[in-house]
Structure 1
Amino acid sequence: MSDPLNLRARVSQLFPALREDLEALVRIPSVSAPAFDQSHVAASAEAVAELLRGAGLDDVQILTAGGSRPAVIARRAAPEGGPTVLLYAHHDVQPPGNRTDWESDPFIPTEREGRLYGRGAADDKAGIIAHLGALRTLGEDLAVGVTVFVEGEEEIGSPFFVEFLTAHAALLRADVIVVADSANWKVGVPGLTTSLRGLVDCEVELTTASHAIHSGMFGGPVLDAITLLSRLVATLHDDAGNVAVAGLAHAPDPTVDYDEADFRADSGVLDSVTLAGTGPISARLWTRPALSVIGFDAPSVALSSNTIIPKATAKLSLRIAAGQDPAAALAALRAHLESHAPFGAQVVVRDGELGRSFQAPVDSAAMRAARAAFEQAWGTPPVDIGLGGSIPFIADLLEVFPDAAILVTGVEDPDSRAHGANESVHLGELEKVVLAEALLLAALAEQG
């Protein structure tokens, strides 16, 4: 792929201003979780809309559907015979968590060693900047139609996504969809996400008695609910750490593997901790089920008393392999929990979120254009990667727009720590992401 528009020089010239725009977005605490002030989500949508107006898009709207958080749709019509490309990102962010875990304020963008730290700096306000930067770089040379769709509730599971797509389908219909909400293989090596695990979650409540009882008077014949729930949770994995729930599928192993030393460095797992499961690390991350306890309700240590606890609840998060039906996976998990109730305890499973997986065609015309664009931007070919995390709305996009080609690209790297403390984006990589997207849009225009 040639670069007749000298896009690399343009991106370099524009990047300082793009960084300032990213910093301004990070300063807005746009947490979409209902316990937080939603006026900040509205302010974030307004800020994104203003940036897109400044990028030359002439039809910019802030829209909702049902009870959704505000989303931004900005459009520029395709030239005669040209394709339309939908550029997706989201402007809402995760809660910051414990502020003491952050080395700097989560909503004051701070640079350290070439990385910009702050909540949303990577996930996914950098995705907004990738789209914005590509549009500014191409300017009047943009030869495709563009619709930018910046969602406002991805971090709470996009509960109104299908309703939003259906309500605004005429505005969002496109030939190619670029989702900037994934990751690259590592700093210096780009990645194209070709598979995403699906998501199932549920709550399991275990009860042993009608009320709390004195641990001295009744302890011995009666085990507390926390102990029994712990025993139940322990049945979910075998001795090697593989998920032990019957009926869960595996997809084929990836063609690349994740070096164990790199994985340990990227994840921060302690040297003394043995990695769970068997087989390639990349398969354990991308193409096999993974099951975690992400919440546990029981009396805190500070509020504890000498009583045998009669009830405890855990929230389970199950990532499922591409191709597995989420409802079938949830049924398998429920059957396992109910059949492994220890000591005859009462077990009740409450269904939670269901998110479908995604498997991309690896040799479509759009994918070939993306591979060439990424290789030119980084100087090395992209790696086909999976993602252990789930982006269920991608399946929703395919359901509403079945003829669209979907490309899942990323602004993160293994050290971005999205959702965690000290989230960051590598500024040098973000500049390459902007260049790659500009090259991709130029290539799609050539494809027609």
Structure 2
Amino acid sequence: MTNTSVDELRSRVEADWQRVVKVLEDKIALKSVSANGITGEHMKRSAEFVADVLKAEGVDARVVQSENPDGTPGAWEVVGSRIVDPAARTVLLYAHHDVQPVPDPSEWDTDPFVATTKDDGRLYGRGAADDGGGIAIHSGALRALGDDLGVNIKVFIEGEEEMGSPSFIPFIEAHRDEFESDVIIVADSGNWSAEIPSLTTSLRGNTCVDVTVRVLGHPVHSGQFGGPILDANTLAAMLIASMYDENGSLVVPGVASEEPIGGLQRDLDEASLRADAAVVDGYRLAGTDSLASRLWTKPSVTVIGFDSHPVDGSFNVIADAARFRLSMRTSPNQKPAEAQQALADFLKAHAPFGAEVTVEAGENGQGWAMDPDSVVVKDAETALETAFGVEPANKGEGGSIPFIPELQRLFPGAQVLVTGPEDPKANAHSPNESIDLASLKKNILAEALLLRSLAA
């Protein structure tokens, strides 16, 4: 284990700071929007830039083009390694170099592809946080450790994360040796706030179903048949409502519910949640128990599509059938296919007034939960606390990052840690994306301290 002190590492991060900021500024200027074509020259230039940044830290980084499942050319990926001792632990560092598009630059206060530092201590630009910040963390941590690096490093900087990673699994399977590791650090999430660090403890899975409710063989006149025959839209509404109790909690048998992974250090603030989501004043938040559990580890169902006749041009007929799509976020540890089947069984068993209900299964995505009791997790929490000067408040995510459980599935012996440069003000995927520079500096120190601990 390296004897480099915390103060020495902190001093090295400080001395390297202007280089790190320049890396971030140059990365933003590359306009690496994967939605404009993952195989494009702009994406290749972005990958080559990142490879050069990592080469400067002793990583034999190179750019490789992936292949989609259908055999067509895929994204430009960056892979490489720095082996210090074949007997030492191996750590895979993940980030992605593609960024979200900017549909309307007029919604930004600055040029989205010109890095701009403001008096609030934040650097603004598309990809500043997501995930230029992740690249900056890895680069800064490796520079801080320098020749004192005591673990083997492998890197994978992805070029299509914002496009759903279609070639991710084929690429890993074709380059399995590039990914074999003991610990995987995914720097693509964020902290509780700019001042309070976090590990991401869990991600919900997801599944969806298309449901058709039929009551008639064809539409009929409401004046002639209305009363004993309810229209299919009303029956569909009844069926949807049957999934919930009086508190708005989901009551579908077989759909699992969990508490926050690793315990709950602090709950989310209701006022902030209401403001962030623009909740109308009179609405009472659904569900019971902590807000964190409702958002991170308990299941939720959302009607994301509904086929019905538009209000304009409507006339007095009883709708014969209604079709809607349900999207379910599943608890981190439940198999989504299991939850999907339980939901389908419930819907068919609760057909209102004996209407005909058919359910068509959609795609599934597995959730993920870290092992809160592992030594690696404890090392990461200690590193965060040392770097930030406050105890971390670990948090889950209500959404899904499908490649993380896939990484865990492909490399079951590896410990996965999800860290990252974002905070609630980062506006990733939105106008005025930014990164808190003081927090970024602490994140770099935290990763350097973690890599130092992993050398034990």
Instruction: Flag the 1:5–1:280 CA change in 2: closer, same or farther, 3 A.
Output: closer
RMSD: 3.5
Partner in structure 2 of residue 359 of structure 1: 369
Superposed, 1:26-175 pairs within 5 Å as 26-32=28-34, 36-38=36-38, 39=40, 40-67=42-69, 68-96=74-102, 102-104=108-110, 106-112=112-118, 113-175=120-182
Q: State the Cα distance separating 1:413 from its structure 2 match.
A: 1.7
* Cα-to-partner distance string for 1:383-433 (whole Å, 9 max, x where unaligned): 232222222322222222222222221222233343444433222211211
* Cα-to-partner distance string for 1:151-197 (whole Å, 9 max, x where unaligned): 23333443433322221111111121111122212221111222222
Find the residue that maps to 2:419 and give its secondary structure: strand
Greater radius of gyration (CA): 2
> Structure 1: which amino acid aligns with 2:97?
H
> Structure 1: which amino acid aligns with 2:88?
G
* Cα-to-partner distance string for 1:113-151 (whole Å, 9 max, x where unaligned): 223344433222321221122122223332321111112
Find the residue that maps to 1:183 and give its secondary structure: coil
* More displaced stretch, 82-91 vs 312-321: 312-321
> Structure 2: which amino acid aligns with 1:168?
H
* More displaced stretch, 77-86 vs 319-328: 77-86
Find the residue that maps to 1:75 and give its secondary structure: strand
Find the residue that maps to 2:188 and give its secondary structure: strand
Q: State the Cα distance separating 1:439 from its structure 2 match.
A: 1.5
> In the alignment, does 2:207 pair up with 1:189?
no
Q: State the Cα distance separating 1:96 from its structure 2 match.
A: 4.3
Work out the CA distance in 2 between the residues paired with 1:2 and 1:141. Answer: 7
Work out the CA distance in 2 between the residues paired with 1:234 and 1:96. Answer: 38
Match of 1:255 among 246, 254, 264: 264
Partner in structure 2 of residue 287 of structure 1: 297
Contact 1:97 1:421 (C-alpha < 8 Å) held by counterparts: no
Q: Which sections of structure 1, spanning at least 5 residues, go unmatched?
A: none
Find the residue that maps to 2:187 and give its secondary structure: strand
Match of 1:402 among 400, 404, 412: 412
> Structure 2: which amino acid aligns with 1:138?
L
Instruction: Flag the 1:190–1:220 CA change in 2: closer, same or farther, 3 A.
Output: same
> Structure 1: which amino acid aligns with 2:49?
A
Partner in structure 1 of residue 337 of structure 2: 327
Q: Which sections of structure 2, spanning at least 5 residues, go unmatched?
A: none
Q: Percent identity?
A: 45
Instruction: Flag the 1:344–1:266 CA change in 2: closer, same or farther, 3 A.
Output: same
Find the residue that maps to 2:405 and give its secondary structure: helix
Q: State the Cα distance separating 1:97 from its structure 2 match.
A: 5.6
Contact 2:34 2:163 (C-alpha < 8 Å) held by counterparts: yes
Contact 1:41 1:70 (C-alpha < 8 Å) held by counterparts: yes
* More displaced stretch, 136-145 vs 110-119: 110-119
Find the residue that maps to 2:420 and give its secondary structure: strand
Aligned residues: 441
Work out the CA distance in 2 between the residues paired with 1:5 and 1:205. Answer: 63
Contact 2:47 2:78 (C-alpha < 8 Å) held by counterparts: yes
Work out the CA distance in 1 between the residues paired with 2:37 and 2:378. Answer: 43
* More displaced stretch, 430-439 vs 240-249: 240-249
Partner in structure 2 of residue 10 of structure 1: 12
